[in-house]
Amino acid sequence: MSATLLHVYELRNWFVEGEVVFRDAAEAIQSHAGEIAPGNEALIAANAVCAHSAYFSSRLGENLSAYIGLISNSASLHASTIQFAEMCALWYLGLVCCVLGKYEEANRSLQASLEKAGAHGERWYETMIGEQIGIVLHDQGEYEMAYHYLAEAVTSARKIGDPMVIAPTLIFLGKTIHALGETSEAKKCLRESLNIAQEIGYRHGISRALDGLGQLAQVNNPNEAHILFTASCDVHREPGYLRTLSMDFNRQEYNSLTLGDIIGAHNSFITVIHHAHESSYMPTMLDVLVGLEMITAKDGDDEHALKLVVNVLQHQVAAHDTLNRAERLQAELQIRLTKQQLKALQPRVKARTFDAIMDEVLNQVDR
């Protein structure tokens, strides 16, 4: 029953309702904890619905609290005899770790969840978890390995016949194929995904497919990309899914830089970095930082831009695309600065915590 409710709320973008329903269910069970013996199925159920609630909390941007809760839930469920519940908690933990940029931990949790799904014949979950492993690998730039997991997930999804699984797996398969250089095949995947998502009214799927098509168009037609990114943002704005909305806006503003709209890009980067900071979207924050430093460099402050870009490159939570942008900007800045400037800058470019970098940036943009 809880799994059915989860998928209904997900399909309809009822994130607030999902978080409240599962949280209330867990609290109702836990209110009778004194009457329940350790290891009782009621306590297992409480941890299971807490994990569902944490998943929706993450969708609403409360990622750190979701992460802490899921660590506890998965540990508690590990000792239970109901492996399905632990499988779900580990899957959710992997999803949240990916949002936080904890890629190694995400992969460990997802692989453990995938193993349990396979061992218990949970084909639907095996497909979804395999897809997420592919997404983690894609974010890390491991495109060949990502393709393996995503192509397998698409094949499995088609056999299952669930359009809500087929649509998102096609999106990330398309993005990975594009990263491997096959644009026409990537577009075919993304258009099929968009058609499926529109047929079933899956708004999140519609937005992601539009975003993917925008990324393809951005290479040769930034004006078309602008239309697609805007449409993606408009779809996501209604349910208030902050993470994906932040990612949509971020890609839109890199496209604005391409179109020469520096002021518009800067203002939107500021909006995105506040949303991302509030919700602990670590990879998105770092990507926005690189965009802001591209603008800083355009304004002539090459030394400040280089200092922050080097700091970005020192953080492992950055996605592969972010690191590529940062490395290109670093190379450009090192060419423009004199040897004397670079030498003078070295003592000031030291490793800093992520929080220290964000405090500096947020203090500057809030002035």
Q: Take residue 114 and report the two structure tokens written for it.
A: 């995938």
Query: Could you report how far apart the first and last alpha carbons of the chain are, in Å?
Result: 50
CATH 2.40.170 is the classification of domain 1-121? no
The pLDDT, as a whole number, for residue 237 is 66
Nearest to 65 by CA among 24, 4, 73: 73
Q: Confidence band (pLDDT; 50, 70, 90) for 213? A: very high
Average pLDDT, the chain: 83
Q: How far apart are CA 72 and CA 77, in angstroms?
A: 9
The pLDDT, as a whole number, for residue 242 is 61
- Give the pLDDT confidence of 230-287 residue by residue, as tens digits: 888 887 665 555 666 677 777 888 888 888 888 888 888 888 888 788 778 888 888 8
**Residues 6 or more apart in contact with residue 231 via CB below 8 angstroms:** 210
Delimit the domains of the chain by residue range: 1-121, 281-367
Mean pLDDT calculated for residue range 150-164: 95
Mean pLDDT calculated for residue range 309-321: 85
The pLDDT, as a whole number, for residue 95 is 92
- Give the pLDDT confidence of 21-52 residue by residue, as tens digits: 676 666 665 555 555 555 556 667 777 778 88
Q: Is residue 195's pLDDT more than 90?
A: yes
Mean pLDDT calculated for residue range 164-181: 95
Look at the block and give the residue holding tokens 């660590």: 71
Distance of CA 175 to the CA centre of its chain: 14
- Give the pLDDT confidence of 287-308 residue by residue, as tens digits: 888 998 999 898 888 888 888 8
The pLDDT, as a whole number, for residue 104 is 93
